[in-house]
Structure 1
């Protein structure tokens, strides 16, 4: 195994994140678009919907329940959240385009980027810029950029402020009936408002990675019913129990977690507001 990956690395980038770690054997179903990159000679195998795909670089559409297996070498994953500007390029593809095997020669820059992250040569603003550049390149090969309309952007902003917002409230905010607002949202992003709200809760929870905060506190602040609900959702998305991420194994103080969110959450600030709407502020992570 690559010596720098004895412990996984995780870079949090606001509307995406990058993970590099040991080989993967997991059954997952994520809300995010995933770019899976093999960091060794063995390809990654994806099995879903009675089919299988194999390659060193694969683009996986969201909400695809799949089994993922890699060889003995490390792997890297780039996950694009629904708020990412190119998310809908992947999510609104035809149903049969569940997994796309990408040309490693054409996207050698992306593989070099994730290898640099795995080797701890790439981090911070350079990492964010490189990921943004190479993800846009991959997205352009999948389909054209599809700008999101103003009403949908308004609904997305409202859900980020309060993931508990229902369709009636969101529809009134943009001057549309609830049914029409829902149709517009799904058409633009390829997921429902409810799915988007859950994705936002997961994104908020990820802000606490490495904080060693109790899972109960994190669940409450991020709008989950309880810690069991958060644990169930996290396990389904990432194939590992949340303690792997929120406990000591990926503690920021050990330098194994690259916290690079555009905005970080403070428990002191969030405690002053309803649990569904923690306040976000710029600044350092509140340990």
Structure 2
């Protein structure tokens, strides 16, 4: 039974609560699994199973989970710095990256009892990702004023196609310079940041009582099917489940 809280910000979706079974699926984000109580069973595309209290599952690999435990799931954009660092960690195990044994081995150094001892979901995710990715977390408050301005003007543009050059003109920089700043300061390429911003806008609309079609149009998706497909591709979850089936903790972004 999936029952817990969700926090979403560009680059990260964090679920904290009761972990349940998930049938075979694959998604575009890198997924970190942390089971606070009992180990969960992971099965890869070949049918091989491996049990563990923590795992790093790369993007694009087919997998399923079974078991019941309190814990945390973190989806990290595969194109960002954290996602790339997590994927590299799986590869450094020396095991095939599409196997359950590699996913569990990649997270083996994590002291689950220590990192899950307390704190809000974002703080816990920061600690887990900091250890597994050997990198800093995504910065919610970019230092460069042009990036702060770009992040501020972006939401008003989400109902249409968003071009990097358009926003760069708004903030007085070249498109290439602004693109580099997004990656350096937010840990995400510009296009990935826009995708996460659209997902957040759509989910907020559904939470406020809008239909999936209304939410899709408000966030710049072609229709509800497009929104649902992107949400499934990213997280293996339906937008209706994210919006209506779980409690939400507001992001600092």
* Fold match (TM-score > 0.5): yes
Choose which of 236, 247, 251 in structure 2 pairs with 1:258: 247
The runs of 5 or more residues in structure 2 that have no matched partner are 91-102
Instruction: Note closer, same or farther for the CA distance 1:95–1:56 as it changes in structure 2 (3 Å cut).
Output: closer
1:44: Cα distance to partner? 4.3
CA–CA distance in structure 2, aligned partners of residues 134 and 246 of structure 1: 22
**In 2, are the aligned partners of 1:110 and 1:131 still within 8 Å (CA)?**
no
1:224 counterpart = 2:213: no
SS of 1:18 mapped into structure 2: strand
Partner of residue 26 from structure 2, selected from 28, 38, 42: 28
C-alpha spacing 1:90/1:47, structure 2 compared with 1 (3 Å): farther
Aligned to 1:130: 120
What TM-score, normalized by structure 1, do the two folds share? Answer: 0.61
Structure 1: distance between partners of 2:50 and 2:39: 13
Matched with 1:13 is: 7
Shift of residue 133, structure 1, vs aligned partner: 2.9
In 1: Cα distance, 2:128 partner to 2:237 partner: 28
Matched, 1:68 2:63: yes
Q: Which residue of 2 aligns with 1:103?
A: 109
TM-score (norm 2): 0.68
Residues 183/246 of structure 1: CA separation in 2 closer, same or farther (3 Å cut): closer
In structure 2, the partner of 1:238 is 235
Equivalent positions of 1:166-181 (< 5 A) are: 166-181=163-178
Corresponding residue for 2:150?
155
Residues 12, 107 of structure 1: alpha-carbon distance in 2 compared, 3 angstrom cutoff: same
Quote how far apart the aligned CAs of 1:197 are: 0.9
Aligned-pair CA distance for 1:228: 1.4
Hey, what does 2:99 align to over in structure 1? none
Structure 1 residue runs without a partner (length 5+): 1-5, 114-128, 251-256, 264-287
RMSD: 3.8
- Give the equivalent residue in structure 2 for 1:116: none
User: Residue deviations 1:109-149, cap 9 Å, x none?
Assistant: 44455xxxxxxxxxxxxxxx422332232233232437655
Change (3 A) 1:157 1:209: same
Cα distance in 2, alignment partners of residues 137 and 76 from structure 1: 14
2:82 to 72, 90, 93: 90
